[in-house]
Amino acid sequence: MGQAHWYERLFANSVTVPGPSVTAISSAARAARVHVAVGINEREPDGGTLFNTLLFIGPDGAVLGRHRKLMPTGVNASSGAPVTVPGCASTTPRSVASAA
């Protein structure tokens, strides 16, 4: 099986925000009255872009925010260009030592 096969599977199993999978997680957070931080493979609703996303959900079930990994990996990394997404958290790559 080639790389395209695995990308197709990843795409098929990714979720949209908002969407049915996020609604289910939000309902569980609300029922348990807990904060949830969950890693997802997020798909843009209108395109083929995938992101490794950390989704934050509050104890009331509301989506508090998300952090998308903005440096592409795999198939999207072929251009080597950074990805910018309006409205999403952005980070600049740096070493742990420089973050202190």
Least confident residue range of 19-28, 48-57, 58-67: 48-57
The mean per-residue pLDDT over the stretch 20-39 comes to 97
The mean per-residue pLDDT over the stretch 42-50 comes to 84
pTM to 2 decimals? 0.67
* CA separation for the pair 39, 66 (Å, rounded): 10
pLDDT of residue 8: 87
Give 78's contacts (C-beta < 8 A, 6+ positions apart): none
Per the DSSP assignment, residues forming a β-bridge with 68 are: 53
For residue 57, give the 3-state DSSP assignment. strand
pLDDT digits (tens, 9 = 90+) for 71-93: 655 555 555 555 444 444 444 44
The mean per-residue pLDDT over the stretch 57-62 comes to 97
